[in-house]
Structure 1
């Protein structure tokens, strides 16, 4: 099985219809997050699929999508009611 890296995915979408579609699409990959920022564990193939899917959903003139790979050596700090991201035992894509 391919190794997964932890990413932060964030988007800003102007149109409500595209916003809903983006939310549902990104949540399919996410392990946690809120509003329009999500923690996502991805293999290289899943990363390519996520980027392709978002490129098809978004209008480049009005919307933006940001995917940041987090350094696995860094410690994750959470404040408030946050839960530290954990790679689940399995992922379901249905």
Structure 2
């Protein structure tokens, strides 16, 4: 059985309610390889992407909150500013 293909996404949110914002942070950090505050780089399979989108709907108020998920082009060179490190695939991913 082959390993599901993962793609790198940029996930960002602006959520007013503290509890909902904490829930979104917990959800995304489960997939994150890096990020700052409300913007995270996350690796997702298609099934995981669907699950994230289904769960985020329950956390946000569509009238006041925003959520953005952008698939990043793997052909683009990564630029790093400051003391950050370029994202790299770990040897394995643990989700659970």
4+ long deviations beyond 3 Å: none
Q: Which runs of 5+ in 1 are unaligned?
A: none
- TM-score, L = length of structure 1: 0.93
Q: What is the SS of the residue equivalent to 2:67?
A: strand
Output the CA distance in 2 between the equivalents of 1:17 and 1:41. 24
Indicate if the aligned counterparts of 1:8 and 1:39 stay in contact, CA closer than 8 A: yes
Aligned length: 94
Output the CA distance in 1 between the equivalents of 2:62 and 2:69. 15
Indicate if the aligned counterparts of 1:41 and 1:87 stay in contact, CA closer than 8 A: no
Q: What is the SS of the residue equivalent to 2:20?
A: helix
Q: Please report how far the alpha carbon of residue 81 of structure 1 lies from its aligned counterpart in structure 2 after TM superposition.
A: 2.1
Structure 1 residue aligned with 2:51, among 49, 52, 74?
A: 49
Q: Which runs of 5+ in 2 are unaligned?
A: none
CA RMSD of aligned residues (A): 1.0
Q: What is the SS of the residue equivalent to 2:87?
A: coil
